[in-house]
Amino acid sequence: MKDLERRAQVVRAAQGMASRGLSPVRSGNVSARSETSDDTFLITPTGMDYAQLSPGDVVAVGLDGSMEAEQLKPSSEWHMHAAIYRDRPDAKAIVHTHSPYAVAIACTHRGIPPFHYMVAVAGGHNIRCADYATFGTEALAENAVRAIRDRKACLLANHGQIVFGDDAEDALDLAEEVETLANQYWHVLQIGGPQLLDSEEMARVLEKFETYGQQ
């Protein structure tokens, strides 16, 4: 089987969404670029219990939407994954979740402003919210691409969040960070709203993040 280890990474991240409380039941999806083809990505199938998922269930999809007939049906959000991969060569894996606090904030059509320096973990001064469009549509894919431009994460209005990373585990970790920030922001709103960090401070934080941790 082609891309066996990459498929296994997708399965582990999909199961991790549930164990970390980021996506209830069968919601959310995970994908990763193929190791064997620059024009293909691997994505979780639609409507399956991730606890029962195996690497052979993961679906290979071309960036143009092409797929082999003998596979399972891919996630209904494959358009969104394909659009981000086409637009962002730096995206190696994508995680889309319906995590509770990200959904709550997204249902107000707000992004997450620089209320805390860790907002910079998503690659910019804020985390935008993509305009609403029906799930599984090209319109939603286009909206997500706009909102995630020069970022690694965005919210999706009345829907959830989507992030990308260097691999599936990295993307899952970022999705958890975004959910934590959404949780904190929601709580701050309950007590009158935050004092925001200014653009100069967020620029300093972004610069420090470039050398943060074990390089």
Q: Residues with catalytic annotation?
A: 77
Pairwise CA distance, residues 142 & 70, whole Å: 28
Please compute Rg for the chain using Cα positions.
17
Size of the chain, expressed as the number of residues it contains? 215
Give the residue carrying structure tokens 């993509």: 130
SS3 165: strand
Give the 3-state DSSP-derived string for 73-106, with helices as H, strands as E and coil as C.
CECCCHHHHHHHHHHCCCCCEEEEECCHHHHHHH
Contact (CB, 8 A) for 151 and 125: no
Q: How many C-beta neighbours within 10 Å does residue 71 have?
A: 14
Q: Residue 156 belongs to what H/E stretch?
A: strand 153-156
